[in-house]
Amino acid sequence: MKFGDKLIKLRKQHGLSQEELAEKLNVSRQSVSKWESNNTYPETDKIVQICNIFDCTMDDLINDKISEIEKRESLAKKKYQIIVDSFLDFIVKTVNLFTSMKFLDIIKCLFELGMIAIILMIAEVILDATFSFIMRNLFDFIHGDMRYYIQNFSTGIIFLIWFIISIIIIIHVFKIRYLDYYDDYMQKSPQNSKTISLKETKKEDFRKREKIIIRDDKDTTLAFLTILSKIVVGIVKIFAIFFLVIGIFILFGLVVSLILTLSLVIYSDLFKGISLGLFGLIALGSIIIYLLGSFILKKKIAVKTTIICSILAFLITSIATGITILSFKDIEFQTSSSFVNKQKYIENIPYTDKMYINNHYDDEVKYLIDNTKGNMIEISAYYDEAFNTIKLKQDDYFEMNSYNLHNYQNTKLKDIYKRFIKDLNNNVITDYMALNITDFTVTASEEVINKLLDNYGKVYLYDKTPIDNGYLIKMAESRVILHNNNCLIDYDIYNDKFSVLDNDCVCEKELLSTSRGDKTIYSCRYTE
């Protein structure tokens, strides 16, 4: 390549125009143009300046033979090509290796590499803990978010470096333990010496290829790896037995459920889909139990049959899911509004100081004004007497008296079944466990109601909505939260007086503003 051609190439590589190069050399653009057209040569001092600008030697610039620049470019291209070819060759060899190995040898190979990966992970956890401790003490003088960002950035860099090192170690072990052995095996076995490209792997029938034996008697594995593998296999088998036992119990439950749902198919189409779905789940469960049992007993697995049965079971379950979902459109779901034997509970109690009415079963409570009640309070609610029994109960809560209706379920299985069949005939499904208490109402004089709500407000934050002849109270949440952590404390919630009875405890008070008012949080802990 002539001088002018080299100059053009170097100038363009550095992104310079003829004018910009001429300005750097303190010459005219025409001079640079003449040099590049090989009509004239620059003076020696200008050649030296050109070499300094483009970081090359005079021999590279003047010698018309192949320059070092071209050699470096050629070597760089070859280097990248070698890297790409090496990566593709690694993939091809890996594919050919695994397709030439027995299934058990593949498991052993993956197990060995997995063990190395686990050891590297454990080492990374230890390294991370050590490095985090050092970083916390090293940047202890930095406060705020900057310290957090520096620690996390440094930890991330260490993790990335260790991850790259781990990948290199695993690949290198895989190469020297398996790929090199595979290459040597192929050289010794001319009939198997043909390697297969990635494209050809789609056409090749690997079942006809002779399977190689990895690590024969002459190439035994390391003793500690053999011991570790036996320990891990033993642990895996213990887990497999554990899951097998659980699977058998689950399968038994599915069979019982299938028998029960089959008896309900005549009452609702919903149970047709559920029964079919349970059949599919039983099939899938049986396959899983078969695979676990074969692994534990070292029995040969019928791969084709297992795959076909799994696909069929999955299809059956999918179809059943669709049928069940479509059946929902004709079903009405009911909860506490579906009382059959609706009964009203009424009880009258006198008002006392530090008293409030609580309700655990309904989000809403009606407070109705009836000035004829005097000092008496009427508490009423509706419930289903076929399934529930309720009564008023009094509890003490931090120096205050809480009155609440408690629900006692007296449900009999025979009654639930009769009710269930009756509901199915009407395309209704009821949540019988939700048949609790509704229409909770407190009726008293206006003075007593105001006192009750004032006491209630000492314990709860709530929404108060005026209604005809009273108020609707809903969305209650605790006004005071205590984290005593086993500390001895005394709290009079009526007068809002808090005291610590344990000298070894320290308590802090925090106010949290909400849309309903201020919430008080007491946090206590033992001093060290």
The whole-number pLDDT of residue 258 equals: 92
Collapsing DSSP to helix, strand or coil, 27 comes out as: coil
Is the predicted pLDDT of residue 71 greater than 70, yes or no? no
Residue with tokens 């069949």: 421
Tokens of 442: 């407190």
Confidence band of 9 (pLDDT split at 50, 70, 90): confident
What integer is the mean pLDDT of 284-290? 92
Tell me the per-residue pLDDT of 106-149, one tens digit each, with 9 for 90 and over.
787 888 888 888 888 888 888 878 877 776 666 666 655 666 67
Confidence band of 297 (pLDDT split at 50, 70, 90): confident
Give the sign of the dihedral formed by CA 93, CA 95, CA 96, CA 98.
positive
What integer is the mean pLDDT of 486-494? 87
Residue 501 or 233, more confident: 501
The whole-number pLDDT of residue 456 equals: 92
Tokens of 441: 């109402």
What are φ and ψ of residue 379, in 5° steps? -110, 125
What integer is the mean pLDDT of 486-503? 87
Give, in degrees to the nearest 5, the angle at Cα 227 between 221 and 233.
105
Q: What is the 3-state secondary structure (H, E, C) of 77-129?
A: HHHHHHHHHHHHHHHHHHHHHHHHECHHHHHHHHHHHHHHHHHHHHHHHHHHH
The whole-number pLDDT of residue 141 equals: 61
Residues of the chain above pLDDT 70, percent: 80
Tokens of 438: 């509704």
The whole-number pLDDT of residue 104 equals: 73
The whole-number pLDDT of residue 450 equals: 93
Q: Which residues contact 416 (CB under 8 A, 6 or more apart)?
A: 387, 432
Is the predicted pLDDT of residue 188 greater than 70, yes or no? no
Tell me the per-residue pLDDT of 338-381, one tens digit each, with 9 for 90 and over.
556 678 889 999 999 889 998 766 678 999 999 999 999 999 98
DSSP, res 345: E
Confidence band of 42 (pLDDT split at 50, 70, 90): confident
Q: Which region, left, alpha or beta, applies to residue 451 given φ > 0 means left and ψ of -120 to 50 means alpha?
A: alpha
What integer is the mean pLDDT of 149-167? 79
Q: Which of 479, 207, 431 is nearest to 335 (CA)?
A: 431
CB of 178 within 8 A of CB of 172? no
The whole-number pLDDT of residue 216 equals: 46
Domain range list for the chain? 3-65, 83-208, 223-330, 338-475, 480-526
Tell me the per-residue pLDDT of 405-419, one tens digit each, with 9 for 90 and over.
887 766 666 777 777
Is the predicted pLDDT of residue 209 greater than 60, yes or no? no
In the CATH scheme, what is the code of domain 3-65?
A: 1.10.260.40
Give the sign of the dihedral formed by CA 80, CA 82, CA 86, CA 89.
positive
CB of 158 within 8 A of CB of 132? no
Confidence band of 229 (pLDDT split at 50, 70, 90): low
Residue 140 or 14, more confident: 14
The whole-number pLDDT of residue 311 equals: 92
Tell me the per-residue pLDDT of 441-457, one tens digit each, with 9 for 90 and over.
999 999 999 999 999 99
Q: Which of 442, 486, 485 is nearest to 467 (CA)?
A: 442
What integer is the mean pLDDT of 242-254? 91
Residue 335 or 205, more confident: 335
Is the predicted pLDDT of residue 226 greater than 70, yes or no? no
The mean pLDDT of the chain is 79
Is the predicted pLDDT of residue 273 greater than 50, yes or no? yes
pTM beyond 0.75, yes or no: no
The whole-number pLDDT of residue 200 equals: 44
Q: Of 43-52, 175-184, 247-256, which has the strongest mean pLDDT?
A: 247-256
The whole-number pLDDT of residue 362 equals: 61
